[in-house]
Chain A
Amino acid sequence: MNTYRLIISSPDGNAFDGQASFLSLRGANGDLAIMAGHIPFITSVLSCDCKVIFEDDTEKTGHTDGGLLTVDSDKVTLLSGSFKWNE
């Protein structure tokens, strides 16, 4: 599966910076998912659980208190005031 660089950034450091193939979360207009090749995009993110599928096909969920999602041609950045991976 095609991958892209995903950065999950918070004031306490990056919770993740690496390759991923899928990210789903709750945007301002509802649930959305980002896959490789997505057009440049910006939306505000609501407090929700996010699902990430990594390049080795493993998946993990984490909780964000809300923030901002920016999709560039080469990377996807989730800026969140607080982000914690679920156990």
Chain B
Amino acid sequence: MGITIKLAGSIALLTGGRDVLESGASNVMGCIDDLEARFSGIKNSLCDDSGNLKGVFNIYVNGENVKYLQGAVTPLEDGDEVSIIPAMAGG
């Protein structure tokens, strides 16, 4: 069954427009590494040089922001949904 990754906005441009992907990762960073293996360079958009998640994207696991869970090491189980959405503030 695996993990479903949903991408929205500018991040989907880095996957050639593919906005729903599957992953077998066991945590959020594993998903990002999975994306990086398939779409080289995408990790730079999501993480800083130290490997911390950037605030310019919000990542949700089953609808809950990972900043309130365990951040990049938030564990994942089969059937979980990871959504990566740009944080935007323009009005």
Co-complex (A, B): no
Chain B residues within 8 Å of A, Cβ to Cβ? none
Chain A residues within 8 Å of B, Cβ to Cβ? none
